[in-house]
């Protein structure tokens, strides 16, 4: 028996378009991630080293996995049900503590971060397992998810107890457990594996949830620009020019993402013979896409703090890397949604990276404008609204 053949559990969303929409409880939940994304981007800003980059990557994947697994729960189950609403609120509180601990997660607050994160991931799945009857089609799936959550939690807690040097590999394994396990159906000995073809999901809900998180992340770039300008002692032409470049870059990111028709993305999920797999693809891609936004926010901070300094080393790399990650993930997102190859975006990513490497002797504000102008041009000419067969659309796969 598949999920669609099963009688509806009181915890689950009822049939009907209105019941597939994003609920107020989910919007409220996302407020925590405004803070969490800010904390992660500020952590990278103050630790622009290879080690700092790896640490930020681990924390970002943890933040995304917490949001992603919650998003799947609220796709299937109704957050207006008081019990599930309570789980969301507890998850919010734990995620908020994770955000507060994030700057010192690889220092004295590592155990607090690990316990809250593990409690959030294991507790949510344990609630679903305890709430569903054993005969429900989703029950085996959540037993497997819970199993992998417990395995991951062991690595998170062990990392929290270990030295900061040992914390990176232990937490990296914890991230891999939850990020990679869906790719092979959460297989566990004695429990078997799940099949995404059995997952009946709402494409409109998945797409809208991802869009709202992109808005949250873009809000971080706007806030970074506004706060840096507010803290600037003197508003010279250079400072205002840097602010303008930052704002234009944010607009270009918004344009490039939201010009992809949400209807096309929803149709890609609903029309697929395996909608669960398509929904998973969208989530896998968004962790990279939103990561690009976070790196770009760090670049904007660096620009507005030191616009006249040479963009040498890490600042130049960060200034190019954010838009490059965003473009590549956006091209992959469009391919999944429309099966059209966005060759212009891939070529544009290479051009942006080359500009960042070649412009390291330039002042920060000059390199920022070079990168921004290139990015705006790519966004305008490679948006999803171009006619089919346009230069940036390439050919249909």
Sign of CA dihedral 2, 3, 5, 10: positive
Q: Does the pLDDT value for residue 387 go beyond 50?
A: no
Question: Quick one: pLDDT band at residue 325, thresholds 50, 70, 90?
Answer: very high
* pLDDT for 279: 79
Task: Give yes or no for residue 394 having a pLDDT over 60.
Answer: no
pLDDT at 386: 41
| pTM assigned to the model | 0.87
Q: How buried is residue 12: exposed, middle or buried, by Cβ count under 10 Å (0-12/13-18/19+)?
A: buried
Higher pLDDT, 394 or 204: 204
pLDDT of amino acid 310? 83
- Backbone phi and psi for residue 188, each to the nearest 5 degrees, phi listed first: -140, 145
* Same domain, yes or no: 58 and 206: no
122 found inside a domain:
yes
pLDDT digits (tens, 9 = 90+) for 328-366: 998 888 888 877 878 888 888 999 999 888 888 888 888
Calpha distance 344→382 (Å, rounded) = 6
- C-beta neighbour count of 8 within 10 angstroms: 9
Structural domain includes residue 377: yes
- Low-confidence winner among 1-5, 163-167, 254-258, 281-285 (lowest mean pLDDT): 1-5
CA distance 371 to 352: 6
Domain end residue (candidates: 196, 223, 255): 196
Q: Are residues 214 and 184 in the same domain?
A: no
Q: How far apart are CA 249 and CA 374, in angstroms?
A: 10
pLDDT at position 100 is: 94
Statement to judge: residues 299 and 161 lie in one domain = no
Q: Are residues 156 and 224 in the same domain?
A: no
* pLDDT tens for each residue of 220-229: 888 888 888 8
Torsion of the alpha carbons at 98, 103, 106 and 110, rounded to the nearest 10: -30
394 with 343: CB under 8 angstroms?
Answer: yes
The domain boundary residue, chosen from 154, 175, 196: 196
Q: How confident is the model at residue 257 (pLDDT cuts 50, 70, 90)?
A: confident
Residue 4 lies in a domain: no
DSSP annotation string for 99-151: HHHGGGTTTTTHHHHHHHHHHHHHHHHHHHHHHS-TTSTHHHHHHHHHHHHHH
Instruction: Decide if pLDDT at 391 tops 50.
Output: no
* pLDDT of 134: 87
Q: What's the whole-number average pLDDT of the chain?
A: 85
Residues 120 and 221 in one domain: no
Question: Quick one: 160 and 217 in the same domain?
Answer: no
Phi, psi at 16, each rounded to 5°: 125, 145
Residue 1's pLDDT is 39
Helical H segments across the chain, by residue range: 24-45, 50-76, 82-101, 110-131, 138-161, 164-180, 203-231, 237-258, 262-270, 275-305, 314-338, 343-358, 364-381
Task: Mark whether 191 and 218 lie in a shared domain.
Answer: no
Residue 220 inside a domain? The answer is yes
Same domain, 238 and 275: yes
Comparison of pLDDT for 121 and 301, the residue scoring more: 121
Cβ(59)–Cβ(105) below 8 Å: yes
User: What is the Cα–Cα distance from 236 to 241, expressed in whole angstroms?
Assistant: 8
Specify the 3-state DSSP secondary structure of 386. coil
What pLDDT score was predicted for residue 136?
86
Compute the distance between CA of residue 328 and CA of residue 394 in angstroms, rounded to an integer. Answer: 15
Q: What's the CA gap between 291 and 289, in Å, rounded?
A: 5
Q: Kindly report the backbone phi and psi dihedral angles of residue 77, in degrees, each rounded to the nearest multiple of 5, phi listed first.
A: -115, 150
Predicted confidence at residue 383, as pLDDT, reads 65
Residue 2 pLDDT > 60, yes or no?
A: no
Q: Looking at residues 98-127, what average pLDDT do you find? A: 95
Q: What CA–CA distance (Å, rounded) separates 288 from 328?
A: 9
**With 80 as the cut, is the pLDDT of residue 129 above it?**
yes
267 versus 324: which is more confidently predicted? 324
pLDDT-derived band of residue 114, with 50, 70 and 90 as boundaries?
very high
In a shared domain, residues 230 and 338: yes
Which of residues 136, 162, 196 is at a domain's end?
196
- How far is Cα 230 from Cα 233, in angstroms, rounded to an integer? 8
Angstrom CA distances, 128 to 26, 122, 193, 237, 263, stand at 17, 10, 18, 56, 31
Domain limits for position 369:
202-383
Is residue 153 predicted with pLDDT exceeding 90? Answer: yes
Residues 126 and 246 in one domain: no
CATH of the domain at 234: 1.20.1410
Confirm whether 371 is domain-assigned.
Answer: yes
Q: Is residue 392 included in any domain, yes or no? A: no
**Does the structure show a pLDDT above 50 at 379?**
yes
**5 lies in some domain:** no
| Residues 255 and 137 both lie in one domain | no
Residues 79 and 168 in one domain: yes
Q: Is residue 9 part of a domain?
A: no
DSSP 43-55: HHHT--SHHHHHH
Number of domains within the chain: 2
141: Cβ–Cβ under 8 A, 6 or more apart, which residues? 186, 194, 198, 199
d(CA 103, CA 169): 18
Residue 300 pLDDT greater than 50, yes or no = yes
Measured between alpha carbons, how far is 7 from 247 in angstroms, rounded to an integer?
Answer: 50
């Amino acid at each position: 028996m598949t999920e669609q053949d099963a009688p509806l559990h009181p915890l689950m969303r009822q049939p009907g378009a209105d019941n597939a929409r994003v609920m107020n409880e989910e919007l409220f939940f996302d407020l925590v991630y405004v803070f969490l994304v800010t904390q992660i981007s500020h952590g990278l800003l103050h630790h622009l080293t290879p080690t700092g980059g790896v640490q930020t990557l681990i924390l970002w994947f943890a933040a995304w996995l917490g949001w992603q697994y919650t998003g799947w729960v609220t796709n299937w189950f109704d957050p207006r049900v008081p019990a599930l609403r309570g789980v969301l609120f507890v998850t919010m509180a734990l995620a908020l503590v994770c955000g507060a601990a994030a700057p010192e997660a690889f220092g004295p607050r590592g155990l607090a971060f690990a316990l809250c994160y593990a409690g959030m991931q294991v507790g949510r799945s344990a609630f679903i397992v305890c709430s569903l009857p054993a005969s429900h089609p989703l029950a085996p799936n959540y037993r497997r998810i819970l199993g992998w959550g417990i395995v991951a939690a062991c690595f998170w807690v062990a990392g929290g107890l270990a030295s900061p040097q040992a914390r990176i590999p232990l937490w990296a394994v914890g991230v891999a457990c939850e990020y990679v396990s869906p790719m092979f159906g959460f297989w566990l000995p004695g429990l078997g594996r799940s099949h995404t073809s059995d997952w009946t999901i709402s494409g409109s809900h998945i797409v809208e949830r991802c869009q709202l998180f992109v808005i949250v992340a873009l809000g971080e770039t706007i806030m970074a620009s506004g706060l840096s300008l507010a803290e600037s002692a003197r508003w010279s032409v250079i400072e205002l020019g840097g602010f303008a470049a930052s704002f234009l870059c944010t607009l270009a990111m918004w344009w490039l993402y939201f010009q992809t028709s949400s209807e096309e993305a929803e149709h890609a999920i609903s029309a697929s013979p395996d909608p669960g797999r398509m929904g998973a693809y969208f989530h896998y891609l968004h962790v990279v896409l939103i990561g690009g936004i976070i790196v770009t926010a760090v670049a904007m901070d660096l620009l507005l703090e030191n616009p006249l300094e040479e963009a040498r080393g890490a600042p130049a790399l960060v200034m190019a890397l954010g838009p490059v990650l965003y473009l590549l993930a956006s091209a992959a997102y469009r391919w999944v949604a429309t099966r059209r190859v966005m060759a212009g975006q891939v070529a544009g990513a290479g051009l942006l990276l080359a500009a960042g490497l070649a412009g390291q002797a330039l002042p920060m504000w000059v390199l920022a404008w070079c990168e921004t102008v290139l990015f705006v041009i790519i966004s305008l000419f490679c948006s999803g609204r171009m006619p089919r067969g346009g230069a940036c659309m390439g050919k249909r796969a």
